[in-house]
Homo-oligomer: A and B are copies of this chain.
Amino acid sequence: MTLGPLHGFRDFYPAELAERAHIMRAWREVARRFAFVEYDGPPLESLELYTRKSGDEIVGQLYNFVDKGGREVALRPEMTPTVARMVGARANALRKPVRWFSMPQLFRYERAQKGRLREHFQLNVDIFGEPDVTADAELVAVAIEIMRALGLTSADVQVRASDRRILTGWLAALGVPESAYPAAYAVIDKLGREPRDVAEEKLLKGGVPQAAVEPILGAAEQSLDAVAARVAGTEAAAHVDAYRRFAEGVAALTGDGAQWLRFDLSIVRGLAYYTGIVFELFDAQGELRAICGGGRYDGLLKGLGGPDMPALGFGMGDVVLGELLRQKGLLPTEAPGPDFWVTGNAAGGIPLAMQAARELRAAGFAVEYALRAQKPDKQFKAAQSAGARYVLQLHEEFADNRVVTVREAHRPSGGPSLLAHLPGADIALDQVIAAATTHRASTF
């Protein structure tokens, strides 16, 4: 028997699924509050959808193949081409702005390495049809509110944002010729990840004047005010103003966005298609890869042969975020157990336990019972091992008087017990259901 999954793929046993579900619940819940609606596309698309956006070089990283009908296809490596295709196909009919989110599983054929995954789940949040930076602020606010919903604070996570057009204006103001921008971008994108002398040499070789080298190597420390002063009177000044409006928007939408958000001229983002504000979320310790990245890509739909429509979005994967949450103790450590375990009596046996289970389940509770006759103490242990919260033992006379004994099997949270809301431990099932329904939020 093959015991494991394919290399780079994950089995989600209940404990791991509980982690993933915890993250996905926060994604979906925050996206809903921000009035984004969910969509999905196929996990398999035509290869051309990806090469048209990223060129033929991308194929080396894709899970692509020729299907039985002779079509060149690929497991989706990212969601943007799919959403661009879907929005493009109904561009006229869709209400603008389009506010959509999705949580696809994505695939890449990475070279086999320890810990390198070939799939992950990624929240994608996008807005189409709105050029104003208010839309950019909404997006970043969604990312921040997800962190907050998961228990993270601005002491744990920082949002770093910039605008490629501000960077360009700043480079121009430093006297960097246009021909040297690619070299400057490449070095800025790797700041802190390659030795200083290597970076310096690349800049000079690329045509960056000596006087601009020092400022470029310190790009990450440039304040917005310093950059504003440098580009005053140039075209980029308008982008600085827009960035300020964006930052104010993030603050208004989150209440404390100023604590989360930091202007960082060194945020370039690898992908060539960003046209405005770009941002990334990092753990404050700087130990992990980016948690989230995105920005504005107004030219993409048109570039793919679709309508000319402003667009912006971000992707947030489950892997890095999961690592951070695990480090902070903010992930569930096991799958949820039943709310109640029902133990039958000798008189009625399993059919009576089934009937009690039915009533509790109909009231919305998760209920398990022993599927064959077992002694009560063995069942109590089974209830504990199932992670049940309470055990209900049916009295011998249950069929006549509906009385059960309520016990705690498991005390996971330290919250108040249902027992505190009952007049006694021996009580009619109906009263247990009524009390459990009323105190559901606090006693489970």
**A interface with B by C-beta (< 8 Å):** 1-7, 9-14, 17-18, 20-21, 32-35, 37-46, 48-49, 63, 65-69, 71, 73, 75, 84-86, 88-90, 95, 97, 99-100, 105, 107, 109, 112, 119, 127, 130, 132, 134-135, 137-138, 145, 248-249, 252-255, 304-306, 335-338, 350-351, 354-355, 357-358, 361-362, 364-368, 371-372, 382, 385-386
Q: Is the CB–CB distance between A39 and B12 below 8 Å?
A: yes
The prevalent SS among residues of A at the interface is mixed
Q: How far is the CA of A127 from the CA of B100 in the complex (A)?
A: 37
In the complex, the chain B residue whose C-beta lies closest to that of A351 is B252
Given contacts A90-B13, A358-B253, A361-B34, contact A42 B368 (CB under 8 A): no
Q: Is the CB–CB distance between A63 and B67 below 8 Å?
A: yes
Name 18 interchain pairs, CB-CB below 8 A, sorted by A: A1-B304, A2-B85, A4-B89, A6-B44, A6-B45, A6-B73, A12-B39, A17-B39, A18-B38, A33-B361, A33-B366, A35-B366, A43-B105, A67-B109, A69-B112, A95-B382, A249-B350, A252-B354
Q: Which of A13, A43, A63, A306 has the most CB of B within 10 A?
A: A13
Q: Is the CB–CB distance between B1 and A350 below 8 Å?
A: no
What is the minimal beta-carbon distance from A317 to any residue of chain B, in angstroms?
Answer: 16
Q: Is the CB–CB distance between B1 and A14 below 8 Å?
A: no
Q: How far is the CA of A97 from the CA of B73 in the complex (A)?
A: 41
Q: How far is the CA of A138 from the CA of B70 in the complex (A)?
A: 45
Copies of this chain held together in the complex: 2
From B10, B69, B253, B386, contact of A35 by CB (8 A): B386
From B6, B338, B358, contact of A46 by CB (8 A): B6
7 further interface pairs, Cβ-Cβ under 8 Å (given A35-B367, A130-B371, A249-B354): A9-B44, A12-B41, A21-B38, A33-B361, A33-B364, A99-B368, A135-B371
What is the minimal beta-carbon distance from A205 to any residue of chain B, in angstroms?
Answer: 35
Q: Is the CB–CB distance between A1 and B306 below 8 Å?
A: yes
In the complex, the chain B residue whose C-beta lies closest to that of A257 is B358
* B contact residues around A350 at 8 Å (CB): 134, 249
* B contact residues around A112 at 8 Å (CB): 69
From B42, B68, B305, contact of A6 by CB (8 A): B42
